[in-house]
Structures are given as C-alpha cells and as structure tokens.
Amino acid sequence: MKGMELARAYYREYADQIRGKFPQYAGRMAFGLVGEGSECYGYDDQISQDHDFGPGFCLWISRETAQAIGPELQEAYNALPKSFQGYTRQETAEGAGRVGVIPIDRFYARYTNCTDVPGTNIEWMRIPERFLSIATNGEVFDDPEGEFTRIRAGLQRFYPEDVLRKKIAARAAVMSQSGQYNFPRSMNRGDIHAAWLAQAEFVKAAASMLYLLERIYEPFYKWAFRGMESFRICVQPAGELKQLIALGSGQETAGERQRIIESICSQTAAQLQRQGFSSTADPFLQNHLPSIMAAVKDPQIRALHVMADFD
C-alpha cells in the first residue's frame, strides 16, 4: 500500500474518534498528509518503508486551538493504534513530528520561515525551492476552517514574477558558464576532474531551470528526476539531461556530452523566448540575461548580482 493511501484510510478510521473527544473544536481541525517523506509525493516504495513510514496523518490547528487543547489533542492522537492494516509506524529521531498535531504557523515557518504567505520578494527569495516543494506537496483530507489551505494555496501559486525572473536569470548564467563555457574548456585541457564538476553544476542548474519553466517547485535532489515525470513543457530537455548523466565522464564521450548540453541550452533559450522572459532565441544563454533582468521591477531584486540566489 502506498503511504498516502494508508494515511487516508487511517484518517477515515480514526479522525472522528479525535473529533468526538473535542466536539467544540471539531470544526477547527485540518487533516491530511503534507511534508517530508517520499509518501507525501507518491514516490514511496518497499525500500521507503524502512524508516518513518506507517499509519498516521497530520492534524493542523491554529495557534489559539493549540494553546487551548494542544497537549490533550496530541495525547489523544498518541493513543491511536500504532499498527493498522498490517503496517506499524517506525519513527526515527529525524522523522519525529512529521505526523500528529502541528500548529499551522509552526508547520509553515519550519519550511518557509514565514507563518503566512511570504509578503515580500526577498522573503520568497530566501526560501529554498525544495522547502517550498515540501510545504505544498501531499494532500489535505479535510480543512473546515480553511486556514491551512489558504496559506497552501498562496504558496502553490508559485513565485512572484520578479522572483521567478531572478531565479531564471541565475540558472541561465550558471548553465552558460558551466556547460557552454567551462565544460568544453576543461575537456580541451584534459582536466576531466574540472569538467566533471562543471557538468555537475550544469545538471543542477538545468534541472532547476526546467522546474522553473514548468512552474513546479523542485523537490529534494534525490527526487528531482523522478519529479520530471510530471513535466508537460520541458519533456525533451529533461530526457536529454538523463542521457547526459548516463554518458559518464571520460574523454571518449566529451563530444556527445557537449552536443547534449548545447541541445538543452538551445531548447531552454527557445522556451525563454516563448514564455516571454527573453526577446531572443540565441542558444548561448549568457546573452539572455539582460533581457530577463530588464523586466524586473523590484529595485532590491534588480540590484542583486545576476548569479545571486538565496537557495
């Protein structure tokens, strides 16, 4: 059974038991499974079940409700069966607190450092993409009060335009510098170690760029390629990125790797023009930076170095 399916079944079996103990607060409890763990993405498998997997759900409440009944509510949750439908939750110290009673403001502050939707572009810039992915994944089963879902919806609307442009400019700069400039120069020198690092930087920047163009927050690195299976716009460059990695790091594959890098950059350039971020389809991504940044209105964002990113 997948983790989300298990959590949903556990919720259906025991949520009313929780509500029944606190009837005056029943309409102020939100239930679901969102946060860390492959089951929140639907990526879990048998290997995932070796730690922090098992029956459970998140029970989000306001700060006021937490002050009124927080400890008692957590005690009621802890009293629920640890085993369900053949699964027993095995929790590590690192995974503690992923399920159970969680104040709404504390949940969002843990991943965004904001207790609500970020109010400024700089606040948005300071949040790592993987944390925004964590804060918006999974599923909300019930939220009668609507507060958890309100903040969730604000985050799911994706980055403000100026922040998106700044991040795209930084990714284009790194892709150009690492893949189109430093990778071939390093290979021509016979410095395969520097070339390997240049290629690695290119892969990281390109993966992030593709997620930005898809308007999806990039998840934790080990799920980045798995998440690309949901792409609708950048399917071909995502596939080529996988091909690039599979080619290894020797001199004998240098030409093919450079060809793939240029293909990914060319497709990225075309997409930048198609989506209105740049006025040119020039395959050399460095040449897109002025056009991308020219439309940034926030002076704080515009003043940042083109490669600067808080992630």
The whole-number average pLDDT for the span 110-126 is: 97
Task: Please write the tens of the pLDDT for every residue from 145-159.
Answer: 999 999 999 999 999
Does residue 309 belong to any structural domain of this protein? no
The whole-number average pLDDT for the span 68-78 is: 97
Does residue 171 belong to any structural domain of this protein? yes
Q: Are 101 and 65 in contact (CB under 8 A)?
A: no
Residue 5 pLDDT grade (very low, low, confident, very high; cuts 50, 70, 90): very high
Q: Are 31 and 175 in the same domain?
A: no
Start-end of H helices in the chain: 3-21, 63-78, 104-112, 121-126, 129-136, 147-156, 161-175, 183-189, 192-214, 224-227, 235-246, 254-274, 289-294, 299-302
Q: What is the CA radius of gyration of the chain?
A: 23
Q: Are 18 and 146 in the same domain?
A: yes
Residue 278 pLDDT grade (very low, low, confident, very high; cuts 50, 70, 90): very high
Q: Are 152 and 8 in the same domain?
A: yes
Maximum Cα–Cα distance across the chain: 72
Residue 171, domain extent:
161-302
The whole-chain average pLDDT of the chain stands at: 95
pLDDT for residue 205 is more than 70: yes
Looking at 156, 179, 213, the residue that finishes a domain is 156
pLDDT for residue 311 is more than 70: no
Q: Are 142 and 167 in the same domain?
A: no
Q: Are 131 and 174 in the same domain?
A: no
Does residue 311 belong to any structural domain of this protein? no
Residue 90 pLDDT grade (very low, low, confident, very high; cuts 50, 70, 90): confident
Number of domains making up the chain: 2
Q: Are 123 and 261 in contact (CB under 8 A)?
A: no
Lowest mean pLDDT across 36-50, 156-170, 232-246? 36-50
Does residue 245 belong to any structural domain of this protein? yes
Q: Are 83 and 167 in the same domain?
A: no
Quick one: DSSP state of residue 58? E
Looking at 156, 177, 196, the residue that finishes a domain is 156
pLDDT for residue 52 is more than 90: no
Q: Are 237 and 254 in the same domain?
A: yes
Cα–Cα distance for residue pair 176/195, rounded to 1 Å: 14
Q: Are 145 and 244 in the same domain?
A: no
Cα–Cα distance for residue pair 24/21, rounded to 1 Å: 9
pLDDT for residue 31 is more than 90: yes
Which residues in 52-65 are b (16+ Cβ under 10 Å) and which e?
bbbbbbbbbbbeeb
Does residue 310 belong to any structural domain of this protein? no
Strands 30-33 and 58-61: antiparallel
The pLDDT assigned to 44 comes to 87
Q: Are 132 and 170 in the same domain?
A: no
Question: Hey, what are 14's tokens?
Answer: 């025991």
pLDDT for residue 142 is more than 70: yes
Q: Which residue has the tokens 């893949």?
A: 179
Closest to 36 in 3D by CA, of 230, 229, 222: 222
pTM: 0.94
Quick one: DSSP state of residue 234? S
Does residue 201 belong to any structural domain of this protein? yes
Q: Are 96 and 32 in the same domain?
A: yes
Looking at 109, 131, 156, the residue that finishes a domain is 156
Q: Are 166 and 125 in contact (CB under 8 A)?
A: yes
Give DSSP secondary structure letters for 97-141: TSSEEEEHHHHHHHHHS-SSS--SHHHHHHS-HHHHHHHH-SEEE
The pLDDT assigned to 89 comes to 84
Q: Are 122 and 203 in the same domain?
A: no
The pLDDT assigned to 48 comes to 79
Q: Are 165 and 138 in the same domain?
A: no
The whole-number average pLDDT for the span 3-22 is: 97
Does residue 307 belong to any structural domain of this protein? no
Q: What percent of the chain has pLDDT over 70?
A: 100
Does residue 10 belong to any structural domain of this protein? yes
- Quick check: helix, strand or coil at residue 83? strand
Q: Report the length, in residues, of the chain.
A: 311
